[in-house]
Structure 1
Amino acid sequence: MLDIKVLGPGCANCIKLESLVKEVVSEKNLQANIEKITDREKFLDYGIMVTPGLIVNGKVLAMVKIPTKSTLEHWLEKESSI
């Protein structure tokens, strides 16, 4: 099961990233626990300086930029097969 954390205070890009993650997980029928972290103090615990941030299975996969849908699909499928 994927452990996915979307970090962001609730800005438009953070919401967009969270929606994209949920869309890919649903479309690809992946088993995932998706957590939205909005507490700015916790961002640094994950090494995220600027949001939005994406952590999958403990790895920082994106920070600042929102990945394309195809890139996100590739990342999540790769991580789910590990």
Structure 2
Amino acid sequence: MEIKVLGTGCKKCKTLEEITKQAVIEVGIDAKVVKVEDMLEIMKLGVLTTPALVIDGKVVLKGRVPSIMEVKELITK
């Protein structure tokens, strides 16, 4: 599984990255978490509001920081 955290480096983007990494550890899945800060790459995915979360190429969340429980639910679907 590949999980991308989209964001330019703001506090909310960094928080989403930390929450996502922690959720992956707690759930115990084999996933690669990648931080994408390049606005062109972010826009190619159709995202205009960050932070955003992309799981296996599909945008599953954008524009807010979710709880760790919500991230766990998203990555185990």
- TM beyond 0.5: yes
Deviations 1:18-51, CA, capped at 9 Å, x for gaps: 0000000011111001110011111111111011
Aligned residues: 77
Partner of 2:55: 56
Q: TM-score, normalised by structure 1?
A: 0.89
Q: Which amino acid aligns with 1:29?
A: G
Partner of 1:25: 24
- The CA RMSD over aligned residues, in Å, is 0.8
Superposed displacement of residue 58, structure 1: 1.1
Aligned mates of 1:20, 1:73 — CA distance in 2: 9
Q: Which amino acid aligns with 1:65?
A: R
Identity of aligned residues (%): 32
Q: Is there any run of 5+ residues in structure 1 with no aligned partner, and where?
A: none
Aligned mates of 1:74, 1:33 — CA distance in 2: 17
Task: Please identify runs of 4+ aligned residues in structure 1 that moved more than 4 A.
Answer: none
Q: TM-score, normalised by structure 2?
A: 0.94
Q: Is there any run of 5+ residues in structure 2 with no aligned partner, and where?
A: none
